[in-house]
C-alpha cells in the first residue's frame, strides 16, 4: 500500500520536489548594513536605500549576487559612481570594476522601491470587513523574506551590524533593531535612527511603523537593560497583562544562561494580523496582538509562554544563530525549552514537568499522524516546513532529557559554556556536543545520534510483577516500536525507584531526586525486551519508572490496580500520576474508581486532573461520568475546561443539563467554550438554541464563539450549516473563523445532505487571505477526504505565498489520494470494529452492574 513508506511505517517528511539544502558558498563577509527607509502606509509602498559594507574573503570579488524579490532597484553606486547591475526575478547582480581586493572592504548603496509586497513587509489598514483595524506596517523576515524589503545576502550564516533610519509622518512611531540613537522632527516628518552593534543575521531585521504607544517597564538584569512594550492606542492595560513579567524573565534567564542579556534594550511590539505568534527580531520582538488580553481571559490565559519563548531567542537564535535552517532546533528547541524553564522559575517544578510532558505529547501526535523525521534534517522544499513540532517540541523535550542525562549542575554548566563559547557566532549541533564535552567530559555523540540525528523514539511498555515467595520484583521494559537491523532498539539508562510505603498524598514541586524511603536502581536498556529481577526485603507499595520523566517517547505502565492507585495518589511526579490514571481508567475496577473519586477531592496539580478527565471521558463508563459531573465545579478553571470537554463523550440529558449553565456562566472564556463544544456532542434538544445564542455574542479572540461553532457541527443537524457558514465570514474574529472551518468539515462529515454546500465553501476558504484560516480550511478538506478538492489543493500547493499553506495543501492532497486507494472494505471493517467495541462496552457495563452488591 502507498500508506506507509520506509520511515519505519511513518509518512515521509520530504515532499516531492524536496532536495538537500546546504548553505551557499561565501566570497565576502557582510560587515554592516545601513538601511534608510521611507514607508508610505497609505500607498503600501517603501522607498529605501540600503548601503552595504562587505569584505572580500580570500580572492578579489568582481561581482556579488544579492537576494531581492519584487524589488525595483533604481540605482547602485560605490563612492558616488554608478555600478553596473543585472536585475533578475529574485536577485540583483552587482559588478565591481575594479574588483574588491582580497581582504579589502567596499561599501555600495542600492536605491530601491517596494510596492504592494507579497511577503516580508505587510501593510495593515482598516477595510470594510474590519473597520476597527489601524493603519500600520510591519516586516517579517524569517526565514528568508528580508529579500522582499531590501536587497541583501539573505542567509543565516551572514551576520552583520545594522543601522536603520526610518522616516515617518509626524505622530507615527517607528521601531527597528538596537538602540534608538536619534529621534528628530523635520517639518511634518519624524526620523528615527536605530543602531544594532552586535552582528545579527538579516532574518532578524525589523521595521514596524504606526501610531504605537510606548510603555517603559522596569530596567532588568545585570546590565539594567531598558525594557519596553508598544501597543496600538487603547491596548495599554492588555499590554501590561501580556508583557508584565518580562523584566523578571530576563533576570531568570540571565541567572541560568550565565551570559547577561546581550543587546542594548529589549522591547516587544504588538501588531495586528501578524502571521506568527511572535518573532524574535534582535532586541525588538514583534508579537501578535492576539496575545493582548482582557481581565476575564487572564483567569486562565497567560502570554508568558509566548513572551518567554521570544525572549529566550535573544540568546538562542539572535546571539547564537543556527548556521543553516537544518539546525534550526538550536533556535526553536531552546526557545521552547526556556518556556518550560520560565514555568519552573515562576510556577514550580510540577508546571515544568507537565509542560514538558505536553510538549512530548504534541510531538508524538505529529510523529504518529503526520510524518517522522530527524530533528536535524536538510531535505525540504521551503525552510519554513522545518518549523514543526519535531523542531520545537521534540527539540525542547530533548533538552529536558539532556538535563536528566547530565544532572542539573552539569547541564547548566554545559549550557553556560555553549553560550559563552559561541556568542555572536553561528552554530551547528556539533557545537553543542563539543561544548558539553568541554564542560563535563561527557561524550554525547551517541545520545545525539539517537534523539536528534535519527527520527522516531522508543515506545515503551513497562510492567512489574512481585514474587512474594522469593521477594523478587520483576520489571520488564519492552520497546514496541519497529526494531530491525537498520533501526536498532534505543539504548539508555533509566532509573527505577522503589518505596516500601507509598505516601498518602503527592508532594508538590518535588525535584526528580529520590523521596524519603526511596531506593533508586539504575536500569540499562539496550534490547527490544529487557527483564530486570530485583531482590527486595519487602513488596514495594510504590514503584517509580523514570521518576524524572526524562525518556523522550511514549511510556505505558502496567503496574496493576493497587500499585497504579498508589502512584496516582502519592507519586511526587505529575507524569507518573498521569500514567497511573491512564492505567486505572482502562482498569475500571473498584480500586480505580475510588482512586479517581479521591483525586478529584485532593489532587494538588490541575494538569493531573485535566489528563484524568480526558481518560475518564474516553471510557464512556457511567461511573466515569459521575466523577466528571462532580469535577465540573472544581476550583481550577483548567480542570473545569478539561472536565467539560470530557463530558462531551456522554450523550444524555443529565450531562447536557449540567453543561448548560457552565456554558453560559462560567468565569472563564475557555471553560464556556469547552462546555459549548461538549453540549453539541450531547445532541440534546436544548443545545441548538444555546449554541446559536452563544455564537451571536463577541468575546476575546472569539474564544467562546469558537466553542459554540464546534458544538453546532457535533449536532449532526442540517440546521447548523447556516450559522456555521455565518461564522466563517470575513468580519468575524480570526480565531472563530479558524474554528468554523473545522466545524464546516465536521458538518460535511456528519450531515451528508449538506456535503455539497460545505465542499463549495471550503473550496473558497482554502485560499483565504488570512493564512491561518486557509490552513484550517485545508485541514478540514483533508479530514473530509473528498477528492473533488484535489484541483484546488494542487493550485494552492503551487501558488500560495506562505510556505506553510503550500506544504499543508500538498500534504492534504497526498492523504486524500492515499485514502482513495484504500479499498472500501477497509472502511466497512472499521465500522464493524467500532460496533463490536460498542457492544463490548455495553456488556462490560452490564457485568459491572451485576457485580455490584
Ligand atoms: Zn521561536
Q: How confident is the model at residue 304 (pLDDT cuts 50, 70, 90)?
A: very high
**What distance in angstroms lies between residue 148's CA and the mean position of ligand 1's atoms?**
21
Residue 202 CA to residue 102 CA, distance in Å, equals 24
What is the average pLDDT across 26-40? 98
Q: How confident is the model at residue 462 (pLDDT cuts 50, 70, 90)?
A: very high
**What's the pLDDT tens digit per position in 487-529?**
999 999 999 999 998 888 999 999 999 999 999 999 999 999 9
Residue 515 CA to residue 520 CA, distance in Å, equals 10
**What distance in angstroms lies between residue 688's CA and the mean position of ligand 1's atoms?**
40
**What distance in angstroms lies between residue 141's CA and the mean position of ligand 1's atoms?**
13
CA 828 to chain centre: 36
**What distance in angstroms lies between residue 303's CA and the mean position of ligand 1's atoms?**
14
The rounded percent of the chain whose pLDDT value lies above 90 is: 92
**What distance in angstroms lies between residue 700's CA and the mean position of ligand 1's atoms?**
24
**What distance in angstroms lies between residue 101's CA and the mean position of ligand 1's atoms?**
39
Q: With a cut of 50, say whether residue 1 has pLDDT above it.
A: no
Residue 209: closest CA among 163, 148, 272, 129: 272
Q: What is the pTM of this model?
A: 0.95
Q: With a cut of 90, say whether residue 822 has pLDDT above it.
A: no
Q: What is the pLDDT of residue 708?
A: 98
Q: With a cut of 50, say whether residue 787 has pLDDT above it.
A: yes
**What distance in angstroms lies between residue 818's CA and the mean position of ligand 1's atoms?**
33
Burial 408-432 (b: 16+ CB within 10 A, else e): eebbbbbbbbbbeebeeebbbbebb
Under DSSP, the state recorded for 701 is G
**What distance in angstroms lies between residue 552's CA and the mean position of ligand 1's atoms?**
21
**What distance in angstroms lies between residue 129's CA and the mean position of ligand 1's atoms?**
31
**What distance in angstroms lies between residue 325's CA and the mean position of ligand 1's atoms?**
13
**What's the pLDDT tens digit per position in 424-456?**
999 999 999 999 999 999 999 999 999 999 999
Q: With a cut of 50, say whether residue 4 has pLDDT above it.
A: no
Q: What is the pLDDT of residue 842?
A: 72
**What distance in angstroms lies between residue 313's CA and the mean position of ligand 1's atoms?**
7
**What's the pLDDT tens digit per position in 69-127?**
999 999 999 999 999 999 998 999 999 999 999 999 999 999 999 999 999 999 999 99
Q: Looking up cell 523514539, which residue turns up?
A: 457
Residue 9 CA to residue 350 CA, distance in Å, equals 35
Q: With a cut of 50, say whether residue 372 has pLDDT above it.
A: yes
| Phi and psi, residue 182, nearest 5° | -160, 145
Asked if 777 and 796 count as a contact pair (C-beta separation under 8 A), the reply is no
Q: How confident is the model at residue 233 (pLDDT cuts 50, 70, 90)?
A: very high
Average pLDDT for the chain = 95
Whole-number Cα distances in Å, 556 to 32, 38, 277, 578, 620 = 54, 59, 33, 10, 21
DSSP assignment of 23-51:
PPP-SEEEEEEEEEEEEETTTTEEEEEEE
Q: With a cut of 60, say whether residue 215 has pLDDT above it.
A: yes
What is the average pLDDT across 163-189? 97
Residue 33 CA to residue 167 CA, distance in Å, equals 17
For 519, counting Cβ atoms within 10 Å of its Cβ (0-12 exposed, 13-18 middle, 19+ buried), the class is middle
Q: Residue 791: which residues within 8 A CB-CB, separation 6 or more?
A: none
Q: Which three cell numbers, joined as nine digits, stand for 40? A: 508610505
Q: What is the pLDDT of residue 836?
A: 77
**What distance in angstroms lies between residue 320's CA and the mean position of ligand 1's atoms?**
13
**What's the pLDDT tens digit per position in 260-269?**
999 999 999 9
Give the N- to C-terminal CA distance of the chain in Å, as an integer: 52
Q: With a cut of 70, say whether residue 315 has pLDDT above it.
A: yes
**What distance in angstroms lies between residue 311's CA and the mean position of ligand 1's atoms?**
9
**What distance in angstroms lies between residue 146's CA and the mean position of ligand 1's atoms?**
17
What is the average pLDDT across 350-357? 98
**What's the pLDDT tens digit per position in 558-616?**
999 999 999 999 999 999 999 999 999 999 999 999 999 999 999 999 999 999 999 99
Q: How confident is the model at residue 23 (pLDDT cuts 50, 70, 90)?
A: confident
What is the average pLDDT across 347-367? 98
Q: What is the pLDDT of residue 8?
A: 57
Asked if 600 and 578 count as a contact pair (C-beta separation under 8 A), the reply is no
**What distance in angstroms lies between residue 321's CA and the mean position of ligand 1's atoms?**
12
**What distance in angstroms lies between residue 302's CA and the mean position of ligand 1's atoms?**
17
Q: Looking up cell 468565569, which residue turns up?
A: 667
**What distance in angstroms lies between residue 279's CA and the mean position of ligand 1's atoms?**
7
Q: What is the pLDDT of residue 301?
A: 98
**What distance in angstroms lies between residue 331's CA and the mean position of ligand 1's atoms?**
7
Q: Which three cell numbers, joined as nine digits, stand for 201? A: 543575521
Asked if 648 and 617 count as a contact pair (C-beta separation under 8 A), the reply is yes
**What distance in angstroms lies between residue 306's CA and the mean position of ligand 1's atoms?**
9
**What distance in angstroms lies between residue 365's CA and the mean position of ligand 1's atoms?**
20
Asked if 349 and 356 count as a contact pair (C-beta separation under 8 A), the reply is no
Residue 789 CA to residue 748 CA, distance in Å, equals 13
**What distance in angstroms lies between residue 33's CA and the mean position of ligand 1's atoms?**
24
**What's the pLDDT tens digit per position in 319-342?**
999 999 999 999 999 999 999 999
**What distance in angstroms lies between residue 375's CA and the mean position of ligand 1's atoms?**
15
Residue 116 CA to residue 555 CA, distance in Å, equals 51
**What's the pLDDT tens digit per position in 651-696?**
999 999 999 999 999 999 999 999 999 999 999 999 999 999 999 9
Q: What is the pLDDT of residue 828?
A: 63
What is the average pLDDT across 545-550? 97
Residue 740 CA to residue 245 CA, distance in Å, equals 33
**What distance in angstroms lies between residue 449's CA and the mean position of ligand 1's atoms?**
24
Asked if 612 and 581 count as a contact pair (C-beta separation under 8 A), the reply is yes
Q: How confident is the model at residue 852 (pLDDT cuts 50, 70, 90)?
A: low
**CA triplet 730, 735, 740: central angle to 5 degrees?**
70
**What distance in angstroms lies between residue 333's CA and the mean position of ligand 1's atoms?**
8
Residue 392: closest CA among 349, 436, 340, 347: 340
**What distance in angstroms lies between residue 336's CA and the mean position of ligand 1's atoms?**
7
**Whole-angstrom Cα Rg for the chain:** 29
Residue 684 CA to residue 709 CA, distance in Å, equals 15
Protein residues placing their CB within 5 Å of the ion ligand 1 = 332, 335
Amino acid at each position: 500500500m502507498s500508506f506507509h513508506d520506509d520511515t519505519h511505517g511513518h509518512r515521509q517528511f520530504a515532499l516531492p520536489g524536496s532536495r538537500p539544502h546546504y548553505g551557499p558558498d561565501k566570497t565576502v563577509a557582510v560587515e554592516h548594513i545601513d538601511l534608510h527607509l521611507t514607508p508610505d502606509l497609505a500607498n503600501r509602498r517603501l522607498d529605501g536605500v540600503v548601503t552595504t559594507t562587505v569584505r572580500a574573503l580570500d580572492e578579489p570579488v568582481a561581482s556579488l549576487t544579492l537576494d531581492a524579490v519584487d524589488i525595483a532597484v533604481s540605482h547602485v553606486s560605490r563612492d558616488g559612481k554608478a555600478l553596473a547591475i543585472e536585475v533578475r526575478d529574485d536577485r540583483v547582480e552587482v559588478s565591481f570594476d575594479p574588483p574588491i581586493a582580497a581582504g579589502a572592504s567596499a561599501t555600495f548603496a542600492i536605491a530601491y522601491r517596494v510596492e504592494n509586497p507579497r511577503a516580508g513587509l505587510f501593510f495593515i489598514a482598516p477595510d470594510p470587513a474590519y473597520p476597527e483595524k489601524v493603519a500600520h506596517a510591519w516586516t517579517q523576515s524569517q526565514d528568508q523574506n528580508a529579500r522582499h524589503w531590501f536587497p541583501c545576502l539573505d542567509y543565516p550564516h551572514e551576520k552583520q551590524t545594522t543601522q536603520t533610519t526610518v522616516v515617518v509622518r509626524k505622530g507615527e512611531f517607528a521601531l527597528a533593531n538596537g538602540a534608538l540613537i536619534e529621534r528628530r522632527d523635520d517639518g511634518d516628518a519624524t526620523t528615527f535612527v536605530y543602531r544594532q552593534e552586535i552582528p545579527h543575521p538579516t532574518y532578524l531585521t525589523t521595521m514596524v511603523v504606526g501610531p504605537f504607544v510606548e510603555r517603559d517597564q522596569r530596567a532588568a538584569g545585570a546590565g539594567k537593560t531598558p525594557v519596553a512594550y508598544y501597543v496600538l492606542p487603547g491596548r495599554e492595560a492588555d499590554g501590561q497583562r501580556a508583557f508584565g513579567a518580562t523584566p523578571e524573565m530576563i533576570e531568570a534567564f540571565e541567572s541560568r544562561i550565565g551570559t547577561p542579556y546581550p543587546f542594548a534594550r529589549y522591547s516587544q511590539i504588538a501588531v495586528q494580523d501578524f502571521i506568527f505568534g511572535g518573532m524574535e527580531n534582535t532586541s525588538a520582538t514583534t508579537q501578535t496582538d492576539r496575545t493582548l488580553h482582557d481581565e476575564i481571559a487572564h483567569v486562565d490565559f497567560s502570554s508568558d509562554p509566548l513572551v518567554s519563548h521570544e525572549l529566550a531567542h535573544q540568546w538562542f537564535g539572535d546571539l547564537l544563530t543556527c548556521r543553516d535552517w537544518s539546525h534550526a532546533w538550536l533556535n526553536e528547541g531552546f526557545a521552547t525549552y526556556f518556556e518550560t524553564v520560565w514555568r519552573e522559575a515562576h510556577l514550580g517544578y510540577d508546571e515544568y514537568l507537565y509542560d514538558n510532558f505536553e510538549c512530548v505529547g504534541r510531538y508524538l501526535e505529529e510523529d504518529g499522524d503526520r510524518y517522522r523525521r530527524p530533528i536535524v534534517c536538510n531535505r525540504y522544499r521551503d525552510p519554513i516546513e522545518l518549523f514543526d513540532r519535531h523542531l520545537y517540541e521534540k527539540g525542547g523535550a530533548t533538552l529536558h532529557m539532556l538535563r536528566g542525562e547530565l544532572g542539573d549542575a552539569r547541564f547548566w554548566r554545559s549550557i553556560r559554556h555553549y553560550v559563552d563559547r559561541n556568542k555572536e557566532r553561528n552554530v551547528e549541533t556539533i557545537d553543542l556536543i563539543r561544548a558539553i564535552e568541554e564542560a563535563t567530559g561527557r561524550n554525547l555523540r551517541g545520545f545525539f545520534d539517537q534523539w536528534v540525528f535519527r527520527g522516531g523514539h522508543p515506545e515503551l511498555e513497562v510492567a512489574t510483577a512481585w514474587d512474594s515467595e522469593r521477594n523478587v520484583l520483576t520489571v520488564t521494559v519492552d520497546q514496541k516500536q519497529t526494531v530491525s537491523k537498520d533501526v536498532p532498539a534505543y539504548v539508555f539508562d533509566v532509573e527505577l525507584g522503589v518505596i516500601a510505603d507509598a505516601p498518602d498524598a503527592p508532594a508538590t514541586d518535588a525535584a526528580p531526586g529520590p523521596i524519603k524511603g526511596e531506593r533508586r536502581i539504575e536500569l540499562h536498556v539496550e534490547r527490544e525486551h529487557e527483564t530486570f529481577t530485583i531482590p527486595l526485603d519487602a513488596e514495594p507499595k510504590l514503584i517509580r519508572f523514570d521518576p524524572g520523566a526524562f525518556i523522550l517517547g511514549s511510556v505505558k505502565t502496567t503496574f496493576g490496580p493497587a500499585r497504579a492507585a498508589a502512584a496516582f495518589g502519592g507519586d511526587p511526579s505529575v507524569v507518573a500520576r498521569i500514567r497511573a490514571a491512564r492505567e486505572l481508567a482502562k482498569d475500571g475496577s473498584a480500586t480505580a474508581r475510588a482512586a479517581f473519586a479521591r483525586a478529584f477531592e485532593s489532587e494538588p496539580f490541575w494538569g493531573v486532573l485535566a489528563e484524568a478527565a480526558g481518560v475518564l471521558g474516553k471510557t464512556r463508563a457511567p461511573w466515569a461520568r459521575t466523577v466528571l459531573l462532580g469535577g465540573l465545579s472544581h476550583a481550577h478553571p483548567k480542570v473545569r475546561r478539561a472536565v467539560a470537554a470530557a463530558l462531551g463523550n456522554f450523550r444524555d440529558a443529565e450531562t447536557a443539563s449540567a453543561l448548560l449553565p457552565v456554558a453560559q456562566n462560567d468565569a472563564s472564556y475557555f471553560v464556556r467554550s469547552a462546555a459549548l463544544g461538549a453540549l453539541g456532542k450531547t445532541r440534546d434538544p436544548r443545545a441548538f438554541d444555546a449554541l446559536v445564542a452563544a455564537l451571536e455574542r463577541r468575546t476575546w479572540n472569539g474564544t467562546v464563539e469558537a466553542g459554540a461553532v464546534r458544538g453546532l457541527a457535533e449536532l449532526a443537524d442540517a440546521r447548523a450549516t447556516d450559522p456555521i457558514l455565518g461564522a466563517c465570514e470575513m468580519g468575524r474574529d480570526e480565531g472563530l473563523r479558524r474554528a468554523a472551518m473545522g466545524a464546516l468539515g465536521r458538518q460535511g462529515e456528519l450531515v451528508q445532505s449538506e456535503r455539497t454546500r460545505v465542499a463549495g465553501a471550503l473550496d473558497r476558504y482554502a485560499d483565504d487571505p488570512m493564512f491561518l484560516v486557509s490552513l484550517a480550511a485545508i485541514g478540514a478538506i483533508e479530514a473530509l477526504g473528498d477528492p473533488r478538492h484535489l484541483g484546488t489543493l494542487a493550485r494552492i500547493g503551487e501558488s500560495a505565498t506562505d510556505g506553510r499553506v503550500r506544504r499543508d495543501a500538498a500534504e492534504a492532497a497526498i492523504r486524500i489520494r492515499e485514502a482513495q486507494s484504500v479499498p472500501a472494505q477497509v472502511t466497512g471493517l472499521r465500522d464493524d470494529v467500532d460496533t463490536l467495541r460498542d457492544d463490548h462496552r455495553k456488556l462490560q457495563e452490564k457485568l459491572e452492574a451485576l457485580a455490584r452488591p
